[in-house]
Chains A and B, each alone.
Chain A
Amino acid sequence: MTTRAIAIAVLLFLPLPIVIVVLSSFTSAGYLSFPIKGVSLRWYAEFLGSADWLKVLGTSALLALIGALVSTAASFAAAWAVVRHEMRFGTTYETILLTPLIFPHAAIGVIMIVTLSGLGWLGTFTGLILVHCILTIPYAYRPVVAALRKADPALEEAAASLGARPWRTFWLVSLPAVRPGLVTSLLFSFIISFDEVTVTMFLVGPFVMTLPVQVFSEVLESASPIIAAVSAALVLFTSLMVFVLDKVIGIQFFVERD
C-alpha cells in the first residue's frame, strides 16, 4: 500500500515543476510568479521577437543536428567494427565509449576547458560540437549496436552471392537493416545535445551560446517570465521529439536491454 502511495506521489510530483513552468509562462505580469496574475502570450511574443534568443536557438539546433549526425555516424562505424569484425578488446572499447555516462559532468567540464583551450577551440562552435559528440555517443551507440546485433549477417552474403559489390550491399542491404537503430540514435543524440547544460556552461563564451545555458544564466540575473516561455517551448519541442521516437520505433527500445 505504501509503495503504491509512493509511486502515485512520484508520478504526480515528477511532472509538477514542468506544469508550473508552462503555466507561469502565460503570465501577463513582468516578473515570474505562481500562481500567475493574468493570462497573456506576451512572453512568447517577446521570445520570438528577440534576435538574441533566436540566435541561441539557432546555435543550439545546429549544434544538436551536427552533433547527432557525427555521433550516429561514429557510433555506426564503432558498432560495425565491434559486431561485424569481432574486434579484439571489443567490450573494453564499448566500455570506454560509454564512460561519459558515469563520469561526473563537472569533471568533464573542467577537463574539456583544458582540452579545448589547448586546441584553441574554447568558446567556439567547433569546440561545442566535439564535446557534444563525446556526450551523446553513449546514447547513440546503444541503439545502433543493438540493431546491428539483430541484423542477419547472411543478408550481406546473400547480396554478394547475387552479384552486389560491397558498396551496393552496404547501401541497399546493411544500412536499411539497421535503419530503426540509426533513426533512434539520431533523435536521441539530438535531444541530449539540445538540452545539455552542465558541461556546456563551462565552455560557452561571448561568441557562442546555447539555448539552455542562456536560460540558466538569465535565471541567475533576472526572473523574467521570458525564461518560462523559452523553457515551455523547450519542453514542447522535446516532447515532440520523444513522440516521434515513440511513433518510429517505440519507446520500448530504450527501456529494453539488448
Chain B
Amino acid sequence: MPDTATLSQPILQIDAVTKEFDGTTAVDRVTLDVAEGEFVTLLGPSGCGKSTLLRMMAGFETPTSGRILMRGEDMSKDPAYEREIGLVFQNLALFPHMNVYDNVAFGLRARKRTEGLDRKVRDILALVGLEGFETRRTGQISGGQRQRVALARSLVTSPDVLLLDEPLSALDLKLRRQLQVELKRIQKETGITFIFVTHDQEEALSMSDRIAVMNAGRVEQFSSAVETYHHPQTRFVAQFVGETNLVEARAVSRDAVGAVLAVDGIDQPFSVPLVEGSGIGAGDSVWISIRPEYMTLGPNTDPAPTGPTLTGQVVSHSFSGSTVTYALDSAAGPLLAQVPFRAGEGHPFPNGETVQISWAADTTTVIPG
C-alpha cells in the first residue's frame, strides 16, 4: 500500500501553464495533477498542444506562465538533464552510432550510476523482451524492437515520470495493439508514472487510468477512461472520444433525479439524471449525448417503448462483424444506431424504411449548451 503522504501529494502538478509561440497560444492555462504510479493520457487532435505540454514537462520548452511542480517543488526552470523525467520520442531518437546495449546504458552512465550497470541493462532488456539483441546496431532491428529499445533506454534510470509522445503511431495496427498491452504491463511492473500522448481515442480508452482530453491548447476534461466515455462534459469530448449522437434539447424543469428535457420529434418530455453541480435550470438549452450502442431500433408498427422515442428513416447501414451501424434521419437530426447482428437474421431494416428509434433515458448525458 502506498502511504498516505504519497497519496495526498501528486507526483507531478501542472499549474495554470501557458505556452505562447510568437502570438499563437499552443498551451492555454492547463492545470493537471498526476498521482504516483498513474497512467495518464493526453488525448487530442493534431496541433492541440500535446507535444508542447510534454516538452515543457521534459524541460525542452519554458512555460510562458504557470508552474510545473515535481513532488511539490517548482522545477519549471530546471534544465532537462537535471529532471528525473524520461521521454520516449515519437521518432524514437535512438543513438544511431551506438548498439542496443550502449543506447540503454547511456542514461546510467550519464547519471554516474554505473554500479551494477550491466545487471540493470540486462534486466531491463529482459523486461522489454530484447535479450540477445545487445550488440545489434539500431539500424539492424525492426520497428517494434526499436520501440522497445527506446522504452528500455528511458526506463533503466527509473525516472519519476516517463513521458511518451505518440510512441506507437508509426507502427501497424497489429503490432500497435500488442505493444499497447505490453506497455501497460511494463507500467504496472515498474510502477513508474506514465504520461502518454496519443490522438487515438481507442488507445487512450484501453490504456489509461485517466485521460486529459485536449482541444486548442486547453484541457476540456480530465477524468477516468470510463467517466470520459460515459459522461463527457463538453460537446468536443463527446464527439472526440468515441462516436456519439449529439442532439439539441431544452430543460423543461428540474426533478428529483435531474432534469426533464424536451427534444424536437419526441412527443413526451423525459427525465434524465444530471451530474451534481451541473448548474442546469429550467428553460436552459442543452445538448444531449447518446452513444450509438445505446440506441434501439424497432419496426414503426411496434407499440412505443418506454423511454425517449422518435421515428426516422434508415439512410444507410454498415456491417462490422458483430454489429450493424445504421445512419438515420430523424426530426432530431441525423442519428447513429449500433445494434447487435447475428448471422442468419439478416439486416432487419432496409434503406429507406421508417423505424422507431429509442433509448433508455438514464443512458443520456446532458452537456451544458
Contacts and interface: CB of A to CB of B under 8 A. Distances in A.
B106 A162 contact: yes
Interface in B75-90: 79-81, 83, 85-87, 89
A176 B58 CA distance: 24
Contacts of A152: 91, 93
Nearest to B90: A154
Interface in A140-191: 152, 154-155, 157-166, 168-169, 172-173, 176-177, 179
Nearest to B107: A162
A65 B42 CA distance: 54
B81 A154 contact: no
Nearest to A156: B93
A155 B93 contact: yes
Contacts of B59: 160-161
A162 B163 CA distance: 12
B95 interface: yes
B363 to A, nearest CB: 44
Given A157-B87, A159-B106, A159-B110, A165 B96 contact: no
Given A154-B93, A177-B96, A179-B97, A161 B58 contact: yes
Interface string A64-98: 00000000000000000000000000000000000
A121 to B, nearest CB: 40
Nearest to B150: A158
The number of chain A residues touching the other chain, given as a range, is: 20 to 34
A161 B85 CA distance: 7
Given A177-B97, A179-B97, A161 B111 contact: no
Contacts of A163: 81, 107, 110-111, 157
B91 A154 contact: yes
Given A157-B60, A157-B80, A168-B110, A162 B86 contact: yes
Q: Binding site of B, secondary structure by majority: helix, strand, loop or mixed?
A: loop
Most buried by A among B89, B93, B96, B157: B93
A152 B92 CA distance: 11
Contact of B157 (A154, A162, A173, A179): A162
Contacts of B87: 157-158, 161
Interface string B107-120: 10011000000000
Interface string A211-244: 0000000000000000000000000000000000
A173 B107 CA distance: 12
B146 interface: no
B91 A164 contact: no
Interface in A200-216: none
A160 B110 CA distance: 9
A225 to B, nearest CB: 49
B271 interface: no
B93 A162 contact: no
A176 B80 contact: no
B106 A154 contact: no
Contacts of A155: 93, 95-96
B92 to A, nearest CB: 8
Contacts of A157: 58, 60, 80, 87, 89, 93
Most buried by B among A163, A166, A168: A163
A154 B89 CA distance: 8
B50 interface: no
A162 B153 contact: yes
B154 interface: yes
A157 B60 CA distance: 7
Given A162-B81, A162-B107, A163-B157, 14 more contacts: A154-B89, A157-B89, A158-B87, A158-B94, A159-B106, A160-B79, A160-B81, A161-B85, A161-B86, A161-B154, A162-B110, A165-B81, A176-B95, A177-B96
Which 10 A/B pairs are nearest by Cβ-Cβ distance?
A: A162-B107, A164-B110, A154-B93, A160-B80, A158-B93, A163-B111, A161-B87, A163-B110, A176-B97, A160-B81
6 contacts: A152-B91, A155-B96, A157-B58, A163-B157, A164-B110, A165-B81
